[in-house]
A and B are shown apart, each in its own frame.
Chain A
């Protein structure tokens, strides 16, 4: 009787869904510190220290600046504690160049993200 209930296709399907939900929530719990890290490089692909990086929230309707930081000596930047799932990053440094806002999307709010590609400043206006 118990075996028939446990091996029922309804139990298996909804059980699998429940297990997936639990696993997903555990993953989210350990990866939602809201940390975004990356690097800013200049036209010669060299790290740019002291560049300003702006984090803007992007909703379906509007975008608004949420945080701002500066890169360290190695051109690295770090934001923490954000609760965003869709945002823009833009970077600039006087005399070096600027990178226009670039959109990033996450699978859950506050997902930790390490940018694989550096933000590249380009000379221009």
Chain B
């Protein structure tokens, strides 16, 4: 078999990657210099960079409070997603009456945008007495259909004999999930963690609807508030964006290997 050199494709891919990084570099540069993004000629490297815009953001709004709120909500969402999605994913690996109908229902529900269901979601949350609370903010994203299918694909790849053996040993279903299936599905867990974290971290509309107390606001709401407080603060605004982006970026970079494995697992199956 003829082998082609890899370097041309690497050069092209590196160039495309660099192009895709430009917006992020631009935001980072603006946060360090305060330079207007429309200034001409544009410069790639920051001139006279400093971190004072980050200090402005930290003190202008209660950033730490917003950060804690976002972390708490995201932690609830991530934990709930792993537990509920694993259980749902496991159920879908079993054979039962109406399984196909449920899968079709799940798939069709994925096509309904959240904005359509926001009023019923609000009324349910109100009935539960969870308005203006962390749990209320986490509730609608405590289980997501995409992540259920990620777990299902991962569980499908585990030999049935292993589950049968566990069952013969007397393990109940919930122990099979948490002691056997989950330890063998680390990539699916990583995918769940990243997706749930990012969705929760970036969630704007739902917290906006149910949060009334300023001290309960999350970072996206803080960003919106920041924009209403200040008008011409290019540097501080971009510094805020970097501060909001950074935790998600760190989580993604740490778990990217498992994340990609989790998304592709089962893709080549059958």
Contact = CB atoms under 8 A, between A and B. Distances in A.
A109 B230 CA distance: 20
A61 B55 contact: no
Contact of A60 (B51, B233, B250, B254): B233
Contacts of B51: 107
B55 A106 contact: yes
A33 B199 CA distance: 42
A102 to B, nearest CB: 15
A13 B236 contact: no
Given A105-B55, A107-B51, A107-B55, A9 B60 contact: no
A60 B55 contact: no
| Chain A: interface size category | 10 to 19
B236 A60 contact: yes
Interface in B24-70: 50-52, 55-56, 59-60
A78 interface: no
B254 A13 contact: yes
Chain B interface extent, by class: 10 to 19
A10 interface: yes
A44 B182 CA distance: 77
Contact of B254 (A10, A61, A106, A108): A10
A9 B59 CA distance: 31
A86 interface: yes
Nearest to B233: A60
Contact of B59 (A10, A13, A61, A85): A85
A63 interface: no
A86 B59 CA distance: 10
Contacts of A60: 56, 60, 229-230, 233, 236
For the complex of A and B, list the 10 residue pairs with the smallest distance between their C-beta atoms, beginning with the closest.
Answer: A105-B52, A60-B230, A60-B60, A85-B55, A85-B59, A107-B55, A10-B254, A9-B254, A60-B233, A13-B254
8 contacts: A59-B60, A61-B229, A85-B55, A85-B59, A86-B52, A86-B55, A105-B52, A108-B55
Interface of B: 50-52, 55-56, 59-60, 229-230, 233, 236, 250, 254
Given A9-B254, A60-B236, A108-B55, 8 more contacts: A10-B254, A60-B56, A60-B229, A60-B230, A60-B233, A105-B50, A105-B55, A107-B55
